[in-house]
Amino acid sequence: MAKLTRRDFLLASAASIGSIVISTSLSGCSSDNDNPEPLPYDVAFLHGVASGDPTTDALLLWTRISAEATEVPLEWQLSVDKEFSQILRSGNTTTSASSDYTVKIDVRELAAGTEYFYRFRAGTVYSPIGRGKTLPEGDVSQVKLAVFSCSNYPAGYFHVYAAAALINGLDASIHLGDYIYEYGAGGYASEDAQAMGRVVQPATEILTLADYRQRYAQYRTDQALQQIHAAAPFIAVWDDHEITNDAWRDGAENHQSDEGDYTERKMAALRAYFEWMPIRPVATGDNETIYRQFEFGNLLNLLMLDTRIIGRDQQLQYASYIDPTSGQLDAQRFTADLTQSSRTILGAEQLQWLQDKLSQSTARWQMLGQQVLMGRMMLPGAVALQQLSVTDFAELAALAQLAGRAQAGDPTLTTEQLAYLQANQQRLTPAVMTLLQLPAMPYNLDAWDGYPAEREIILNTVAAAKKQLLVLAGDTHNSWANHLDLADGTAVGVELATSSVTSPGLEQYINLPDRTSAAATEQALEQLVQGLQYANLYDRGFMLLTVSPQQVSCQWQYVDTIKQAEYQLLETRAKQAVVQYNADSAARLTLQ
């Protein structure tokens, strides 16, 4: 029997392990066949290429091959130039139906902070070329990151991805979840799908492994999505829609009893996610753990979290605390349940991991990449319970204040104010006055506002360690910037939240007809919500973060449409915030 070389072992292993990531550190490995021949069947790379989960010495490469064959051999190649004038690394593997014909290669022993180009070849057919970059080490002067969330295929064109792919020098793209959506044709945000040629496949809500695979395959045919994947490594986490809406540890709002076993559905969804996303499992065969760390030298410590499925307790619902007869909220019972110290969104193991990583890091900036808003989005009760709009509440509250001043005999009231009060006093009915007097309540119980005790633990950890904290968030389909404080008002950090790629935001839910109406509501919200520094309730877009030792710049960039095939960047709605480094105080942002 001939001696089995290391290369033979790897090739044999690749043929037997299906969807498992192929790890290789074959220094200087070259192709076995410099004069390839066509395969005896048609092949194509219809879903592009991607890289992900960079480390200082490794890149994960991804592609999918389309072919009618039991097993397909292919080669991967790595170069420092996009012309591939010199191939630094290459290797061979196979793929099959067991991994849905996806391929993941973990290329190791690379140089830190280095740009690489990669491609795949099946027979004589080459894939598109992708750009990857390893993480830097030591002293780092700048890191540039694009941040995305909530990309719903039938809701519109992925122009946001296309715009970000044009940015030069991205170190990585961060996706905060809802990369796909589970709904069937005619479901959520699908009213224009037929006209745009973006009706989802399969046509039904996705439940099985085959369903989830087909939905990913459709998304990955989108050219804009392929462009952003090819432009820079992805660092991604899931949110709920990669499984189904409002998922938690043991279930989900959008999973019904006639849809089969929830755990089976969840595991099918997570298997498809790991097949189709350029993500490295924390341990072989572990498709449930995605919280992990990325260190950009001494500049940035990025901690990606799972606030959705690994530890989350079930969300509270306001409807559960409203008396059906009187319509009154049982505020005492609601507050008692909300503030339970045992309520968790991370789970004990992930929480301890996060506290340890935050405390131990010596990086200049600490950044949490996670799904849901951490800021205290406390709205007037009438707004939180959807009894009054933001602008109506602001107008009626101002009118009530005016009435109170008049009743107290305030001599400073002007003639115009008294005339306005006389003309509008009838609007202050007993029912309206009751609504105006409701206490402030959380805007979204699916966010950290629904898990306040655990939020306080994390913020206390940051405050005690005197770290400069930046929290990234998605999920809401709108842009936000919040100052993060302890319950006693102690400043701790900053939250930067991105809009969606296509999913509709508050402009649809509260019926904002145009950007002028949105601007008025945004201004009212910024005045009503303590800690809220910025809101965009109308536009689809992404965040561009530029991190340096002295400051972090966040640019919210938006596109003018997702319903037309052509788009432009919407300069009039773009916004920038700067967070200056200050070792003696908590991070705070300034809008520019």
**What are 387-399's pLDDT values in tens digits?**
998 889 989 999 9
* Residue 25 banded pLDDT, cuts 50, 70, 90: low
Distances (CA, A) of 1 to 4, 7, 13, 32, 417: 9, 16, 18, 21, 99
Question: Contact at 8 Å (CB) between 493 and 468?
Answer: yes
Please give the pLDDT value at position 328. 86
Which of 90, 119, 134 delimits the end of a domain? 134
User: Is 116 within the bounds of a domain?
Assistant: yes
Residue 139 structure tokens: 């002293």
Residue 284 structure tokens: 């072989």
Q: Is the pLDDT of residue 220 over 70?
A: yes
Report the Cα 470 to chain-centroid distance in Å. 15
CA 30/CA 264 separation, integer angstroms: 42
Please tell me the pTM assigned to this model: 0.93
Domain count, the chain: 2
Residue 87 structure tokens: 């191939």
Which of 100, 134, 168 delimits the end of a domain? 134
User: Is 355 within the bounds of a domain?
Assistant: no
User: Is 15 within the bounds of a domain?
Assistant: yes
Which of 86, 116, 134 delimits the end of a domain? 134
Q: In percent, how much of the chain has pLDDT > 70? A: 95
**What are 314-331's pLDDT values in tens digits?**
999 999 999 998 888 899
**What are 288-301's pLDDT values in tens digits?**
999 999 999 999 99
* Mean pLDDT value of segment 521-547: 96
* Mean pLDDT value of segment 273-285: 96
Q: Is the pLDDT of residue 160 over 60?
A: yes
φ, ψ of residue 377 in degrees (nearest 5): -90, 70
**What are 477-506's pLDDT values in tens digits?**
999 999 999 999 999 999 999 999 999 999
Q: Which domain holds residue 397?
A: 386-437
User: Is 378 within the bounds of a domain?
Assistant: no
- The mean predicted confidence, pLDDT, of the chain is 94
Q: Is the peptide bond before 442 cis (omega within 30 degrees of 0)?
A: no
User: Is 459 within the bounds of a domain?
Assistant: no
* Mean pLDDT value of segment 237-265: 98
User: Is 34 within the bounds of a domain?
Assistant: yes
Alpha-helix residue ranges (DSSP H) falling in 255-338: 262-276, 331-338
Q: Is the pLDDT of residue 362 over 60?
A: yes
Phi/psi zone of residue 285: left (φ > 0), alpha (ψ -120 to 50 degrees), beta? Answer: left
Cβ neighbours around 3 below 10 Å, total: 5
User: Is 444 within the bounds of a domain?
Assistant: no
* Mean pLDDT value of segment 49-59: 99
User: Is 53 within the bounds of a domain?
Assistant: yes
Please give the pLDDT value at position 397. 93
Please give the pLDDT value at position 377. 95
Looking at residue 81, which CATH number applies to its domain?
2.60.40.380
* Residue 62 banded pLDDT, cuts 50, 70, 90: very high
**What are 366-392's pLDDT values in tens digits?**
999 999 999 999 999 999 888 998 889
CA 212/CA 264 separation, integer angstroms: 12
